[in-house]
A and B are shown apart, each in its own frame.
Chain A
C-alpha cells in the first residue's frame, strides 16, 4: 500500500473526533555540504510519520533517543519547521477560558494545515495547542516569578486585564495542586515535581484543547512521577484535554495511553491501541523494546526471556536500505534488505511496518515459562 492510500483509508474512518491529524510528516536537517556546490548531506530525523490524536484521548509516541519523537512533537507546533507533510489541527471554536462565563460552543471547526498556516492562524492554533517540556529546570526562566511564568501565554496572546490574569494564575495553581500563594516566588524555591506542575499550569493558561507532553516525567523521582501522572490524568478528565504524549518509558506509556505509535529511526514501525500493542506486539523491534524493560519483581525477572539486540542504532544520515531495523533485527531475511516495508493494517486497528510480523502472539510482557 502506498502512503497515498494510507491517507485515503484513514480518511474513511470516522474522523469527527480527531483533534490532530498528522500525515507523512518529514523533517530533514542539513548536516554539511561537500564544497560550495557539492552534494548536501541530510539527517532524516522524521521520515514520513502519520497519526491521529482523538478528542479526550492520549496518543503516545514512544521510542529510544534519536528515533525522532521529540522532533515530531516540535514539528507539530512548528517550533521546528517541518520539511514536508501535513499537520491538520482543529481548534475548537469558542473554547472558553476556565472562569469565563460565556456559554461554551465547541462546534467542530474545519482542519487547518499548520504547515501552510498564515501567522495569524498559527497564533490562534497555538492558543489551543500547548507543550510541556521534559526539563522542569531549563524550561522555567529563573528570573521570573511564578505569576509571570504562568501568565506569560495570557500576556503573549493579549488575554484579559492584569487583574484577570492574576486571578487566572491563582486558579491555575490550585488546579495543578500548588498553593496560590506560590505565585510570588521564583522557580528555584521549588522541587522538580513542583516545577513540572508550574510548567503544566503555564501550558493550561489559555485553556488549550491539545497538550503535547514531551517526556513530562522523565526527570522526576518515582514517588513524584506518580503524583504528576495522576495530576495529568485528573486534568484530562476535568478539562477534556487531548494529549500527545512523548516518552521512552514503556511502562509509563502503557499506563497513560489510549493509542501508541512506536518509532524507530524516524518512522512509525507499529501503531495500535494500548491493549493490542501490549497484548500482542507484532514488530520485532516493539518486542525487543518490551522485553528490555525491567519489571520490579525478581520472580518475574529471573524467568523472563530477554531479547538482547545486537549492534547500535544506525545513522539517520546514511539510513540502511530496505527496512530501517534490519541491521539489528533478530528475524531479518533477504527481502528486508531489498524492500522497504510499509505501515499496513495487519489486524483491525493494528498497523505494523514489517515484512514478517510476529503473529505467533508471544507477548514477552508476561513471563515465558
Chain B
C-alpha cells in the first residue's frame, strides 16, 4: 500500500517583492507538506514571511510581489500553473482563507445572511430557500445566538468575536479540504479567542478539514496544532510535532522565542530571556545563517556557510549547523 499523497505540497517556494531598493525576499525557498485533516501551525514574528506564504498558496500575491520560483501542489495539481479562472474554482471551494480582520471578508453594506446565501448560491447552486436554511444552520453551528434574527443583521451589529465566527462559518460553507487561518484571533480578546479556537477545533475535527494556523502566538498553536513550523527571515528554520518542538526545540531561535514569552503558569518575576537585536533586512539578508547576528552561539561557520534548509522530507528538521547541541538553562547558568 502506498501512503496517501499529501494534500498540499510546497517545494522551494520563493515570493519576492520588487522595490526601488532591491528585491524583498519575503519567502525565500521554503518546502513543506500537509496531509489530509492535519493541523499545522506556522509560527513567526512580523516579517518572517508566514502571511506571504499563505497569500502565495491562495494566489493572492499582487505586484510588486510575485512568486518567482517553486511549486505549490494541491492534490497533486500545481496551483502556480493554473489560470486565474481555474484558481477561482479552487479558492473558497477547496482552499479557504480567513484573516485577522474579519471585515476584510465581510461587506459592510450587505446583511450577514445575504452574504452567506450568496456564497451558497454561487458555489453550490442552491435555491434561495435552501441557502437560507443552510446559512441559518451554519450560524447556529458557530454559536451565534438566535441565528434566525441575526441572519438579517449587518456586520457592524456583531461584536469582533462574533464577526470572526461568522467569517469561519462562511469559509466552511463549501466544505473546503484546507482552511488557512492567518492570525484569526490576534484582534480578539482572550475570552473571544478561546471561543473561536474552541469552535475551529470542533469544526475541523467534525469535518476533517486540514487547518494551517498562522500566528505569532506560541500559546494558541500549543493547544491546536499537531505539527509546527517556525519561520524566520523568509525561511523555515525548524519543524516538528508540537510536543517535541516545544519540549525540545533544537534551533536557538525557537528556543529563544519560547524562553522570551512570559507564561501564565510561571510566577517568577526574574528577567526574561531576550533575543538581542532585530530581524534582518530581507533585501540583503545576512550570508550564512540568517539568524547569526542575533544568535548567542554563532561561530565562523554560521557567518560564512548557510545551514541546510528544512526540505519537508522528515517530520522533524532544523536548519542550524549545531542543531540541538545547546542547553539554554545550563548555558545561561554558566554566564
Contacts and interface: CB of A to CB of B under 8 A. Distances in A.
Interface of A: 64-65, 191, 193-194, 221-227, 229-230, 233, 248-252, 254-256, 274-275, 278-279, 288-302, 304, 306, 308-309, 311-313, 365-366
Nearest to A299: B243
B195 A308 contact: yes
B198 interface: yes
Given A222-B257, A226-B273, A308-B198, A297 B191 contact: no
A294 B198 CA distance: 12
Contacts of A306: 194, 198
A248 B188 CA distance: 11
A254 B191 contact: no
Contacts of A254: 262, 264, 266-267
Interface string B252-267: 0000111011111111
Per DSSP, chain A at the interface is helix
B190 A302 contact: no
B189 A65 contact: yes
Contact of A250 (B217, B246, B264, B273): B264
B267 A274 contact: yes
A227 B274 CA distance: 6
B24 to A, nearest CB: 16
Interface string B220-242: 11110000000000000000001
Given A221-B46, A233-B271, A226 B260 contact: yes
Contacts, number: 136
B159 A296 contact: no
Most buried by B among A297, A308, A311: A297
Contact of B271 (A65, A222, A230, A297): A230
Contacts of B264: 250-251, 254, 278, 290, 293, 295, 365
Q: Give the bracket for the number of chain B residues in contact with chain A.
A: 35 or more
B278 A301 contact: no
Given A251-B264, A255-B262, A312-B161, A223 B219 contact: no
A312 B196 CA distance: 13
Contacts of B260: 222-223, 225-226
Nearest to A292: B194
Interface string B265-282: 111110111111010000
Contact of B267 (A65, A229, A278, A294): A278
B145 interface: yes
B261 A64 contact: no
Contacts of B198: 306, 308
A221 B190 contact: no
17 contacts: A194-B278, A223-B275, A225-B260, A226-B273, A227-B276, A278-B267, A288-B191, A290-B264, A292-B190, A294-B197, A295-B219, A295-B222, A296-B218, A297-B246, A299-B247, A302-B223, A309-B194
